[in-house]
A = this chain, B = another copy of it.
């Protein structure tokens, strides 16, 4: 099965009812606790040689990345992360030399967002893997399905640098890769603050985090919302050292991708000022269920190409 086929298959085992608002096609499961209180529930695993290599990833980096990949899923629903469980699978005996930097990075990244580790499980394993679970809360979960034609598409930061790292590390040693590119891939930051503001002020009509590439993640919003989109090539913020291809189809940017109504653009500007960030308007939602790239006067139909964890 491809990743897409698997997600389709999985659906028949997932429940959605009056209590479980969302379990399918979302960044987190959404559970309604009371009228204004939703529990967000997500998990993300990182496996040695599949998601990272110790040749360029330190244990500190791994801790940051594990926390961020999970925090980013909470951010993508406009949630506040609260509690975490860690599963650690290790082939080598647990030793301060590597467990200290890992645990420090993990817990300090969580604490930045007032999130606390509350337990977990540790197992022997023939290879190294780490799995984090996060519980978050929100009054207003932002789903993928709310985008409507004529709304604007925003991304929260320049794209492609994390993907550029994976290209560069094939040819260069770690120290020869520019600092910003290393940081983007090895020490990414989740957009918790922005996600919370967008949820509180009910500005984003749909949202996702870019973990598998702009085109693919935008298409996920389109599919859930039953719409299409056009992207304006010259407005896409391509990171230094990244190519347009990196920005369109590279993974692990952990930027937020969201849609906003025209009448809310002013309010969005205020949020950007408040959190001292640039937000990038990169396109528009359209009725036709297709994806277009606008290049000056040219309009190119594009495929939602991105990272397939089972294929790559």
A residues near B (Cβ < 8 Å) are 1, 3, 6, 9-10, 13-15, 20, 23, 26, 28-29, 31, 33, 39, 41-51, 83, 85, 87, 89, 93-95, 99, 103, 106-107, 116-127, 129, 131, 133, 135, 309-310
Q: A41-B135, A85-B41, A135-B135 are in contact. Are A124 and B13 (CB under 8 A)?
A: no
Copies in the complex: 2
A116, B47: Cα distance in complex, Å:
26
Chain B residues, CB < 8 A from A125? 47, 50, 127, 129
Contact A116 B310 (CB under 8 A): no
Chain B residues, CB < 8 A from A51? 123
Contact B117 A15 (CB under 8 A): yes
Question: A46 — nearest CB in chain B belongs to which residue?
Answer: B123
Chain B residues, CB < 8 A from A46? 123
Residue in A26, A41, A103 whose Cβ sees the most chain B Cβ within 10 Å: A41
Contact B124 A127 (CB under 8 A): no
25 pairs from A and B in contact (CB 8 Å cutoff): A1-B94, A10-B120, A10-B122, A14-B116, A41-B119, A41-B133, A43-B85, A43-B87, A43-B120, A43-B131, A43-B133, A46-B123, A47-B124, A50-B124, A50-B126, A85-B133, A87-B131, A89-B129, A94-B310, A122-B310, A123-B309, A124-B309, A125-B127, A126-B126, A133-B133
